[in-house]
Structure 1
């Protein structure tokens, strides 16, 4: 096939311990999936139906395992917040997936940051407008290498945490999720035809807060991966 312009580069995420990479199709995010975070954002901690939003594939900013990635503070904001999350990578697609079969569609897991222009998000919420400029900006999803299910299984419990300049900011446990990975995948598949290459950022625990230039962020999920970036 010939294109009239150069084809965009395929967005990818590295796979830990391998030379091959995971191609990224879409990035889905589930909002307020930890009760304490729901409360701190002014929402209900009750088990309400989940809501989703998206980031473009090229918002993913892969960070090599064991290294600290350079992450540039974005423009048009004075209040960027960190949100540490476990990421589920879809390896088999489907629509209207049942919960009991949902994990069969997950290829592996990683760790990501849902970086958010919080000031813009607040303005957009007040105006009843969509969040794209707050959530879907360039490199808004720093991400660790993925690890396949064949190596680590399906994590359902374990610490999720984030330090900023050595100070603990976010802490929680995967077992605190309001909607499990299986439930989130099944629910998401009611709205979208999931396909191999999709990523699902599964929510963040409480403690989200601002970052500034010079900050070093180190976070992780027990048994999955760690991620480190420096804000430039």
Structure 2
């Protein structure tokens, strides 16, 4: 497992990428489009992107299984976002968005991940037009599962993600609700910057994002065909972080 962190040069995160499935949209379509509403977009008062939107997290934010708690910095409103992660297996540059085989062939394996966000830090930065890398980049802000072999997830668009805080289920949705499928995500990223072996791509989070505090325990899981993938489990506690950082207005 340590090799995942050691081999990762960058973590690309797709934002605002899960469709809303309402009363008149069931069952969910095989290929959702950007015309759909996004529950996670709605709950954060954002707008639906016209193309895949991505940002970076540092590899130093990765928290390996059993490596300790997620640490909440002083003054931070800490939010969870469960996501399916792709571990890239080969160099990918300027991928054709219609090349589904090329996209899936470039994936070495999968992980489950919890993208942690310092939400008040992010909100202040957005309001003032400032970069918000800090909000995503603290140490321990990316708990991940053990590595999941590709054979365990035959179709990454047909998996089910769950996240619980304590005994309360907070997120539970299918990856079939992605607005932009994985080939489109990898095409958009790779036309801007080369994806390299060991890089991680986080594919977006469904609705239900919320706050956690010290003492909370997060449990995340992934299912395929109604069966949980054992190596895809995450269980991690939240604790307060000691140190010099404390959130203050910029």
Q: With structure 1 as the length reference, what TM-score do the two structures score?
A: 0.85
2:176 is paired with a residue of what secondary structure?
helix
For residues 143-202 of structure 1, what are the alpha-carbon distances to aligned partners after superposition, in whole Å with 9 as ceiling and x for unaligned? 111112244333211221110001011121100011111211111101111110100011
The answer to whether the 8 A contact 1:70-1:231 is kept is no
Counterpart residue number, 2:10: 26
Mapping 1:117-156, distance limit 5 Å: 117-156=118-157
Aligned residue pairs total 211
Cα deviation, residue 112, structure 1? 0.3
Counterpart residue number, 1:226: 233
Mapping 1:1-232, distance limit 5 Å: 12-13=3-4, 23-34=7-18, 35-45=38-48, 48-64=50-66, 70-99=68-97, 100=99, 101-223=102-224, 224=229, 225-232=232-239
1:191 is paired with a residue of what secondary structure?
coil
1:200 is paired with a residue of what secondary structure?
strand
Deviates more, 1:69-78 or 1:105-114: 69-78
* Unaligned stretches of 5+ residues in structure 2: 19-37, 240-250
Mapped partners of 1:228, 1:112: distance in 2? 11
The answer to whether the 8 A contact 1:61-1:141 is kept is yes
Mapped partners of 1:110, 1:196: distance in 2? 15
Cα deviation, residue 113, structure 1? 0.7
1:222 is paired with a residue of what secondary structure?
strand
2:214 is paired with a residue of what secondary structure?
coil
For residues 113-165 of structure 1, what are the alpha-carbon distances to aligned partners after superposition, in whole Å with 9 as ceiling and x for unaligned? 11000010110000001111101111111111111224433321122111000
Mapped partners of 1:228, 1:184: distance in 2? 28
Mapped partners of 1:23, 1:154: distance in 2? 25
Mapped partners of 1:22, 1:75: distance in 2? 24
- Structure 1 moving runs of 4+ over 2 Å: 150-154
Mapped partners of 1:136, 1:12: distance in 2? 20
For residues 10-50 of structure 1, what are the alpha-carbon distances to aligned partners after superposition, in whole Å with 9 as ceiling and x for unaligned? x633xxxxxxx8721211101111111111111234x6212
Task: Specify whether residues 40 and 131 from structure 1 end up closer, same or farther in structure 2 by C-alpha distance, changes over 3 A only.
Answer: same
* Unaligned stretches of 5+ residues in structure 1: 1-10, 14-20
1:187 is paired with a residue of what secondary structure?
helix
The answer to whether the 8 A contact 1:77-1:120 is kept is no
